[in-house]
């Protein structure tokens, strides 16, 4: 793949700070690709404005307009297919995707999750990490498979949990890490260094036995 080849579509529902991190990394020449479309299921998602400001085409596909998940996901897949994405990035897209959708995009569908998977799939990850007394917390980028937050992990970023942390403070600090981790992983994918083969993540041609993890202190 030559530079600027990877066609990236991003799905959002909210503020889009991870989208912003990707836009910045692309603008800075760190990722050999471009965002060809941002789709939100919510018209009020702040990320839409971030995309427009960067000159990226946006689309709103409200889930309330569709009778059920399968019909919505079929419409979403059809919209995505109009831009032939090599990679579909879930960046705070707050919807569970149907098996059919995931299977259609498997191997080119990634998500960022605010925990060190396999710990704390689902919601309220920061509160759950605190409740469990974890000393380390973080985020994971993974390929998406039909089971929720269970796909093979590509890379993680971790930080120490402070005694004074609250779910909110942890969320803020993990979010900052997400903004480093997601562009890094998308960069690897754009450079052809990462792929999913037979359900496993390969980095530089080798199946990963353990995902690489960057830490809060790593420059």
CA-based angle 30:33:35, to the nearest 5?
110
| Of 81, 21, 85, nearest in space to 47 by CA | 21
Which residues ranging from 177 to 216 are in contact with ligand GRF (CB under 6 A)? Answer: 178
CA angle 174, 103, 212 (to 5 degrees): 35
* Residue tagged 């925990």 (tokens): 115
Contacts with ligand GRF by CB under 6 A: the residue count is 16
137 is catalytic: no
Q: Which of 63, 113, 137, 162 is catalytic?
A: 113
CB of 109 to ligand GRF, least distance (A): 13
Closest approach of ligand GRF to the CB of residue 47, in Å: 6
Q: Where are the beta strands (DSSP E) in 165-218?
A: 194-197, 200-203, 206-207, 213-215
> Per CB under 6 A, does 18 bind ligand GRF?
yes
115 part of the interface to ligand GRF, by CB under 6 A: no
Instruction: State the Rg of the chain over Cα.
Output: 17
Nearest-approach distance from CB 19 to ligand GRF, in angstroms: 6
Give residues in contact with ligand GRF (CB under 6 A): 12, 14-19, 47, 91-92, 112-114, 139, 175, 178
């Amino acid at each position: 793949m030559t530079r600027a080849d990877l066609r990236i579509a991003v799905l959002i529902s909210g503020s889009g700070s991870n989208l912003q991190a990707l836009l910045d990394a692309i603008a800075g020449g760190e990722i050999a690709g471009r965002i060809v479309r941002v789709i939100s299921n919510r018209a009020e998602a702040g990320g839409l404005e971030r995309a427009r400001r960067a000159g990226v085409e946006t689309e709103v596909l409200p889930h309330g307009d569709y009778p059920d998940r399968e019909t919505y996901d079929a419409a979403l897949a059809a919209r995505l297919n109009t831009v032939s994405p090599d990679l579909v990035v879930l960046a705070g897209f707050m919807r569970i995707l149907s098996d059919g959708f995931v299977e259609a995009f498997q191997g080119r569908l990634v998500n960022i999750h605010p925990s060190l998977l396999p710990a704390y799939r689902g919601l309220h990850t920061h509160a759950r990490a605190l409740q469990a007394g974890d000393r380390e917390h973080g985020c994971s980028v993974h390929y998406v498979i039909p089971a929720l937050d269970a796909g093979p992990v590509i890379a993680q970023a971790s930080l120490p949990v402070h005694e004074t942390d609250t779910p909110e403070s942890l969320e803020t600090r993990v979010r900052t890490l997400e903004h480093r981790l997601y562009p890094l992983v998308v960069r690897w994918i754009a450079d052809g260094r990462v792929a999913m083969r037979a359900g496993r993540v390969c980095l530089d041609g080798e199946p990963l036995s353990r995902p690489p993890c960057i830490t809060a202190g790593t420059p």
